[in-house]
């Protein structure tokens, strides 16, 4: 099988539109019905609505958990409201790989928790790879995607989207059943 892989010279929000367009093309080719994406403010969710306009693809938008809003960025209520009105489902919950109880233990006592070791392994691809995997697992944990369902997961470096993958989703309890099937887009 041969297929397109979109590689960016560097990661960042300037790649969002191209990443979402590549994700749309692959969703149409594979008949994937769900895209799970990371969004801090809701901006990426709104861009995804534009990119997937005219399709039956459902969009699940995962935000940073509330404990990180002051450190990074909180959802913009107007953007979230607009995206939800157009059918996007939003999820705000504890992160599977980073920013959870294990991070609190690391900060207080030191060491590298197992979940962060997994996260740093995904970082060897790019930050968006870790984020894409993490938001997919979070969505299954919340019942917004089914274990075993093939979805497209989208993440990024900081803001926006620069990574898109096809994966067989799973919940955090069965994390190692997750299978990354394809890379659609990522920074080099």
Cα–Cα distance measured from residue 112 to residue 105, given in angstroms and rounded to the nearest whole number: 9
The residues, any chain, with a CB within 8 Å of residue 108's CB and separated by 6 or more, are none
Domain boundaries defined on the chain: 6-187
Core vs surface per residue 119-147: b (16+ CB within 10 A) or e? beebbebbbbbbbbbbbbbbbbbeebbee
User: In this predicted structure, what is the pLDDT of residue 39?
Assistant: 95
Question: What are the pLDDT digits (tens) for 130-159?
Answer: 999 999 999 999 999 999 999 999 999 988
Q: Select from 3.40.50.2300, 3.40.1380.20, 3.40.630.30, 3.40.50.300 the CATH code of 6-187.
A: 3.40.1380.20
Provide the pLDDT confidence category of residue 124 given band limits of 50, 70 and 90.
very high
pTM (two decimals) = 0.92
Cα–Cα distance measured from residue 117 to residue 36, given in angstroms and rounded to the nearest whole number: 23
Least confident of 20-29, 52-61, 111-120, 151-160: 111-120
Provide the pLDDT confidence category of residue 90 given band limits of 50, 70 and 90.
very high
Provide the pLDDT confidence category of residue 102 given band limits of 50, 70 and 90.
confident
């Amino acid at each position: 099988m041969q297929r397109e892989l979109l590689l960016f010279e560097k990661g960042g929000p300037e790649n969002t539109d191209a990443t979402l367009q590549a994700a749309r093309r692959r969703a149409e080719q594979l008949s994937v019905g769900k895209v799970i994406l990371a969004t801090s403010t809701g901006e990426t969710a709104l861009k995804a609505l534009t990119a997937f306009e005219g399709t039956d693809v459902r969009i699940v938008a995962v935000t940073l958990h509330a404990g990180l809003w002051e450190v990074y960025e909180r959802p913009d209520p107007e953007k979230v409201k607009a995206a939800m009105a157009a059918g996007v489902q939003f999820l705000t919950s504890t992160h599977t790989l980073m920013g959870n109880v294990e991070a609190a233990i690391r900060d207080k006592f030191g060491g590298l928790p197992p979940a962060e070791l997994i996260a740093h392994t995904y970082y060897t691809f790019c930050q968006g790879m870790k984020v894409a995997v993490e938001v997919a697992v979070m969505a299954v944990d919340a019942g917004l995607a089914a274990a075993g369902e093939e979805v497209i997961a989208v993440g990024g470096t900081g803001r926006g989207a620069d990574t898109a993958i096809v994966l067989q989703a799973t919940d955090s309890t069965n994390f190692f059943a997750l299978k990354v099937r394809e890379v659609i887009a990522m920074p080099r």
